[in-house]
Chains A and B, each alone.
Chain A
Amino acid sequence: MKIGILNYNACNLASIYNSIFRLGYDPKIIEKRAELKSIDKLIIPGVGAAKNCLDYLKKNDLFSEVEIFFKKEKPILGICLGLQIFSKNLFEHGKSSGFNLIDADVVSFPNKKINIGWRKILINDKNWIEFNNKSFYFCHSYLLKFNNANDKKYCKARINSQEEIPSLIIKQNFIGTQFHPEKSQTVGNKFIEKFLNWEPNN
């Protein structure tokens, strides 16, 4: 199995690379569209800003290549911004269009608050129940707001808080986490392992 990590010229690249490497894999950093063709599972890291990231992916023909990758039903893990770009519209530094897999907008918190720290997630999917009530590390100033109540079914975990923070999204061969599994110590490693062994639709 070949694991790719998409480099969009921002992101916490070494953090995610090292976390996969420590689990006993040899991930490849993907910088050009051709490199994506031989990859079986793709990780799209976080720590970036929406507009800059999407502009970069589109300008370098990586956006369309990720769409092809997704359509081939190969598994993708999007972390933080890597999740958010699979929404319809993003509003960080102006409006930009995401992959539109989830009918949601990515907006800032009310009063421009920021969510940084460890929080327990509540899982509503039996396939992922081992992570129920476990603490993961969050670090984000934007979050998903569903436009369509029907798409809420893809939300498999949330934070129990005054604002509803979608924390885990699963749709077809895509998994998106608002938290950072690569920075969530033992429980985060278990989550990444589960993704690396995951077969969609099973």
Chain B
Amino acid sequence: MGTEQLIRIIPSLLLSKKKLVKGQNFSNYKNAGNPITTILALDSQKADEIFLIDLDAYKSRKNPDIETLKKISEILSTPLTFGGGVENIEASKKILMNGADKVFINTAFISNKKLIEEIAYIFGSQAIVAGLNLINYKNSFIISEDNSKRIDPINYIKELEDRGVGEIKITYVDIEGSRKGMEIEYSKKILAKARVPIIFEGGIGKLDHLKECCENKINNIAIGSLITFSDYNIIKIKQYLNNENFEVRI
């Protein structure tokens, strides 16, 4: 879209039994506080967007917690993407009409790409975010939910785009919560081919990691551990990037 697009810093939060939780490599989840108070703080710190995934719904492939979504919507003036376990148009509709601005769908698109067209027909492509969990495999990456291990993530992204997905969030499972830094090289490969905005998540543990992302045009960055269990907040993060001469909204 050109250089005028501002960098997006996106807190990525997990919901479980009405609480926020944070894990490492998709396990060892710890309580990370009350969703309402945390999200209100992120809103006032000028988070650019917020992602909230219902972990229990994702695991059980059941519909996510709409009651908590409604409560969050009452206090939030930041764009919210919500999901977890969403597998059909009815669940998507509930999410989008009860406080979310975009619906996050992960596993369901692997087996049912028609769902993308169904949601886009009612809500538009811009309301659909597809999630891809990537794991290391033979010096490259595969999609963690793909039992065949055959789907090339970059081809898969193209297919999602062709079907009408508006945005994609990539999560690097092996480094998620590790605070070791972003997977830069593979992200660059994805960005070279992608048409829709791509959000990257995994491994951001200190400010230098964010700088490294921005230097490589990884401009939509989801963060978890960095804000959940540390002294950093969105204001400090953006101030740092601004001082490094990157275009952020402060």
Can you name the residue of chain A whose Cβ is closest to the Cβ of B98?
A: A14
Q: Which residues of A contact B43 (CB under 8 A)?
A: 185
State whether the Cβ of A33 lies closer than 8 Å to any Cβ in chain B: no
Q: Does B77 contact A (CB under 8 A)?
A: yes
Number of A-B contacts (CB under 8 A): 129
Q: Bound state CA distance, A155 and B57, in angstroms?
A: 44
Quote the shortest CB–CB distance from B64 to chain A (angstroms).
Answer: 15
Task: Determine the distance from Cα of A183 to Cα of B1 in the docked complex, in whole angstroms.
Answer: 21
- A48-B220 in contact given A135-B6, A139-B79, A184-B77 (Cβ < 8 Å): no
A132 CB–B CB distance under 8 Å:
no
Q: What is the distance, in angstroms, from A136's C-beta to the closest C-beta of chain B? A: 10
**Nearest neighbor of B10 in chain A, beta-carbon distance:** A117
Q: Which label, helix, strand, loop or mixed, suits the secondary structure of the A interface?
A: mixed
What is the chain B residue whose CB lies nearest that of A112? B195
B contact residues around A52 at 8 Å (CB): 121-122
* A18 and B124 form a contact (CB under 8 A): no
Minimal beta-carbon separation of A175 from chain B (angstroms): 19
- Docked complex Cα distance between A76 and B93 (Å): 25
On whether the beta carbons of A114 and B6 are closer than 8 Å, the reply is no
CB-CB under 8 A from B101, the residues of chain A are 12, 15, 47, 139, 180, 183
Interface residues on A, range: 35 or more
The reply to whether B196 and A114 form a contact with Cβ atoms under 8 Å apart is: yes
> How many whole Å from B42's CB to the nearest CB in chain A?
11
Residues of chain B with a CB closer than 8 A to A117's CB = 5-6, 8, 48, 197, 220
Contact A161 B99 (CB under 8 A): no
0 or 1 for each of A111-125: is its CB under 8 Å from B? (1 = yes): 111111111100000
A-binding residues in B (CB < 8 A): 1-2, 4-6, 8, 43, 46, 48-49, 70, 73-80, 93, 96-102, 120-127, 161, 166-167, 195-197, 220, 249
Extra contacts, 6 of them, besides A49-B120, A139-B101, A186-B77 (Cβ < 8 A), are: A12-B100, A22-B75, A117-B197, A120-B6, A137-B49, A139-B166
> What are 9 inter-chain pairs, A to B, with CB distance below 8 A?
A15-B100, A47-B123, A49-B123, A51-B121, A114-B197, A115-B1, A183-B101, A185-B78, A186-B77
Chain A interface residues toward B at CB < 8 A = 10-15, 18-19, 21-22, 47-52, 81, 92-93, 111-120, 135, 137, 139-142, 159-163, 180, 182-186, 188-189
